[in-house]
Structure 1
Amino acid sequence: MINDKKNWKKKISLFLTAQMISLFGSSLVQYAIIWYITLTTTSGFMLTISTVCGFLPQIAISLFAGVWIDQYDRKKMIMFSDGIIAMVTLLLAVSFFLGYREIWLLFIVLLIRSAGTGIQTPAVNALIPQIVPQENLMKVNGVNSSITSFIMFISPAVSGGILSVITIEATLLIDVITAFIGIFIMFTLNIPSFVKKKDEKQTTVQGVKEGFLYVKDNPFIKRLLLFLIAVMILISPAAFLTPLMVSRSFGPEIWRLTASEMTFSAGAAVGGLLISAWSGFRNRMHTTILACALYGGLMIGLGIAPLFLVYLGLNFLIGITMPIFNTPINVLLQEKVNSSMHGRIFSLVQISSSCALPIGMMIFGPLADIVQVESLLIVSGGCVLLVALISQRHVS
Structure 2
Amino acid sequence: MKMMPEEMPLMRNRTFVLMFIAGIFAVVGFSMFLTTVSWFAVTEMDSAMAVGLVLMAATIPRLVMMVFGGVVADKYKKTTIMFITNLTQGVLLFVLYLFVANDNLTLTILLILAGLFGMLDAFFGPASTSLIPKIVAKKQLQRANAVFQGADQISFIIGPIIAGLMMETVSIAGSFLVATILVFFSAIFIFPPLIKEAAVGERISQSPLQDLKDGFHYVRSSNFLLIGLVVLITLNFFVFGALHVAIPLLVDTHGGSPLNLSFMEASLGVGMLLGSIILGAYTIKRRRGAMTLYGLLASLVLFIIFALVPSLTWLTIFIFFIGFSMVFVYIPFFTVAQENTDGHIMGRVMSIIFLAMNGFDPVSYGLVTGLVATGVSVQLVLFGLGVAGLLIWFIVFLRAKQFREV
TM-score normalised by length of structure 2: 0.82
Is 1:111 the counterpart of 2:120? The answer is no
Q: How does 1:57-136 map to 2 (within 5 A)?
A: 57-94=61-98, 101-136=105-140
What's 1:266 paired with?
A: 270
1:98 & 1:307 partners in 2: Cα distance?
36
Checking the alignment, whether the CA contact within 8 Å between 1:89 and 1:172 is kept in structure 2 is: yes
Percentage of matched positions with identical amino acids: 19
Question: What does the per-residue CA deviation read over 1:104-128, in whole Å, with 9 as the maximum and x for residues that have no partner?
Answer: 3332221111111111112111111
What's 2:386 paired with?
A: 377
Task: Specify the SS of the correspondent of 1:189.
Answer: helix
2:102 & 2:321 partners in 1: Cα distance?
47
**TM-fit CA distance, 1:387:** 3.0
What's 2:396 paired with?
A: 387
Choose from 192, 195, 206 the match for 1:190.
195
1:378–1:306 CA distance, 2 compared to 1 (3 A): farther
1:392–1:118 CA distance, 2 compared to 1 (3 A): same
2:311 & 2:40 partners in 1: Cα distance?
33
Checking the alignment, whether the CA contact within 8 Å between 2:67 and 2:352 is kept in structure 1 is: yes
1:281–1:392 CA distance, 2 compared to 1 (3 A): farther
Question: What does the per-residue CA deviation read over 1:200-243, in whole Å, with 9 as the maximum and x for residues that have no partner?
Answer: 4x222222122122223333323332343344444469636865
1:43–1:232 CA distance, 2 compared to 1 (3 A): closer
Task: Specify the SS of the correspondent of 1:254.
Answer: coil
What's 1:221 paired with?
A: 225
2:74 & 2:256 partners in 1: Cα distance?
44
What's 1:4 paired with?
A: 5
What's 1:329 paired with?
A: 333
2:66 & 2:82 partners in 1: Cα distance?
13
Choose from 240, 251, 254 the match for 1:252.
254
Deviates more, 1:366-375 or 1:132-141: 366-375
Query: Would you say how many aligned residue pairs link Structure 1 and Structure 2?
Result: 393
Deviates more, 1:73-82 or 1:155-164: 155-164
Checking the alignment, whether the CA contact within 8 Å between 2:299 and 2:325 is kept in structure 1 is: yes
What's 2:357 paired with?
A: 353
Is 1:239 the counterpart of 2:240? The answer is no
2:106 & 2:364 partners in 1: Cα distance?
33
Checking the alignment, whether the CA contact within 8 Å between 2:55 and 2:362 is kept in structure 1 is: no
1:232–1:110 CA distance, 2 compared to 1 (3 A): closer
**TM-fit CA distance, 1:132:** 1.1
What's 1:150 paired with?
A: 154
**TM-fit CA distance, 1:323:** 1.1
**TM-fit CA distance, 1:386:** 5.0
Question: What does the per-residue CA deviation read over 1:352-371, in whole Å, with 9 as the maximum and x for residues that have no partner?
Answer: 12123445677787599499
Gaps of 5+ in 1: none
Question: What does the per-residue CA deviation read over 1:123-154, in whole Å, with 9 as the maximum and x for residues that have no partner?
Answer: 11111111111111111111211221222233
Task: Specify the SS of the correspondent of 1:5.
Answer: helix
1:35–1:229 CA distance, 2 compared to 1 (3 A): closer
1:304–1:83 CA distance, 2 compared to 1 (3 A): closer
1:140 & 1:336 partners in 2: Cα distance?
16
TM-score normalised by length of structure 1: 0.84
Checking the alignment, whether the CA contact within 8 Å between 2:234 and 2:389 is kept in structure 1 is: no
1:304 & 1:49 partners in 2: Cα distance?
26
Two-structure CA RMSD over aligned residues (Å): 3.5
Checking the alignment, whether the CA contact within 8 Å between 1:63 and 1:351 is kept in structure 2 is: yes
1:216 & 1:361 partners in 2: Cα distance?
28
1:310 & 1:165 partners in 2: Cα distance?
26
Task: Specify the SS of the correspondent of 2:202.
Answer: coil
2:167 & 2:261 partners in 1: Cα distance?
20
**TM-fit CA distance, 1:4:** 2.5
What is the letter of the counterpart of residue 5 of structure 1? E
2:365 & 2:15 partners in 1: Cα distance?
40
